[in-house]
Amino acid sequence: MAVREAEPVGSLSEVREAGLDREDLLGIYRNLLITRGIEERGHILYKQGKIPGSFYTGRGNEGAAVGVATAMAPDDVGTPLHRDMGVHVTRGVEPWRIFAQYMGREGGPTRGRDGNVHMADARLGMIAMVSHLPAMLPVAVGCALSFRIREEKRVAVGWSGEGAMARGDAHEAMNFAGVRQLPVVFICDNNQWAYSTPTHLGYAVEHLADRANAYGFEGVVVDGTDVLAVYREAKAAIEKARNGGGPTLLELKTLRMEGHAVHDDAFYVPKELFEEWAKSDPIERFRTWLRENADLTTEEEEEISARVKKLLNDALSQAEESPQPDPATLLEGVYATPEDLDTPHHK
């Protein structure tokens, strides 16, 4: 079970074999634009002083996030991180709620209790991340464990960055999942920089996916800027897990195209590296592919862009109207009540 490096995706027929029709492809393109659009507007909100605390984006990771989320079935669950806005978008979180979350408003998924991308919509099968990465990997494994106990054909997807793969949680989660061959797929967003720490100071193997071997499952390295390759590999891994084949570790290689957070100008990343990876922008790359392989017309492109622009502008207005949380409610919800368990999952 040596690590495998995934091939790029070629023709439309190959994509069709992987289960995507033209409408799906345009949907992916739209989700990529929404993802980047949300984060670009986030920058503006931040500069306007409307976002308290810090602000994090996943620029360069849009293809990786949207690709994986597109491969998940509606009943599958996941624990996306702060570079994975595309997962929330693909799962259907309304953009206005994301802007409200950024601004700490009542309408955000955490109602101002937590900030930036520490959010998820449980109704859409997502579980909100914490800062202590990769603390959500064992949680994803637990979701998979429940599917295995109940013999449900569902899959959990757990995310980590390459930096957090140095922590023990990653080892404990992957080891347990491997031992029990649980239906979980581990995604490692390898964007080459853990804050200012480069990969060679984070791990000593050539690929992080090499580690999968030690846990008894397959590791695959994928170009994370190739949304279709990410989709194909994620789909294969998810369906393998669903059918009892156990976990897979997918290492999605990208470059973090901005600083760790908005305050960080990433001076430590060589300029040439940015220039090199800018040629492989996931959105540009996919747009070109759509033109060459799926007859994307200029009219279609403009129409999709215009719709996304309107969606996001409307979302911004709606978010700005969302009230501040009421300090009188601060003490609420520290402890759950039995009524809180009245969810589809807990029945």
Under the rule (CB under 8 A), what is the footprint of another protein? Answer: 77, 109-111, 113-114, 118-120, 122, 127-128, 130-132, 135-149, 156, 168-169, 172-173, 175-176, 179, 333-338, 340-341, 345-347
Question: Rounded to an integer, what distance in angstroms lies between the CA atom of residue 343 and that of residue 347?
Answer: 6
Query: Is the Cβ of residue 135 or residue 273 nearer to another protein in the bound state?
Result: 135
> Cβ of residue 100: shortest distance to another protein, in angstroms?
14
Beta carbons of 191 and 162 less than 8 angstroms apart = yes
Beta carbons of 176 and 141 less than 8 angstroms apart = yes
Helical spans, DSSP H, in 216-297: 227-242, 271-278, 282-293
Query: Is the Cβ of residue 110 or residue 213 nearer to another protein in the bound state?
Result: 110
Q: How far is CA 29 from CA 22, 105, 192, in A?
A: 11, 29, 25
- In DSSP terms, 132 is beta-bridged to none
Query: Is the Cβ of residue 4 or residue 180 nearer to another protein in the bound state?
Result: 180
Query: Is the Cβ of residue 73 or residue 130 nearer to another protein in the bound state?
Result: 130
> Cβ of residue 159: shortest distance to another protein, in angstroms?
13
Question: Rounded to an integer, what distance in angstroms lies between the CA atom of residue 286 and that of residue 225?
Answer: 9
Query: Is the Cβ of residue 204 or residue 336 nearer to another protein in the bound state?
Result: 336
Query: Is the Cβ of residue 205 or residue 341 nearer to another protein in the bound state?
Result: 341
Beta carbons of 83 and 189 less than 8 angstroms apart = yes
> Cβ of residue 113: shortest distance to another protein, in angstroms?
4
> Cβ of residue 258: shortest distance to another protein, in angstroms?
25
Q: At what angle do helices 298-321 and 22-47 cross, to 10 degrees?
A: 40
> Cβ of residue 24: shortest distance to another protein, in angstroms?
28
> Cβ of residue 163: shortest distance to another protein, in angstroms?
16
> Cβ of residue 147: shortest distance to another protein, in angstroms?
7
Beta carbons of 62 and 139 less than 8 angstroms apart = no
Query: Is the Cβ of residue 51 or residue 184 nearer to another protein in the bound state?
Result: 184
Question: Rounded to an integer, what distance in angstroms lies between the CA atom of residue 81 and that of residue 183?
Answer: 20
Tell whether the torsion through CA atoms of 14, 18, 23 and 26 is positive or negative: negative
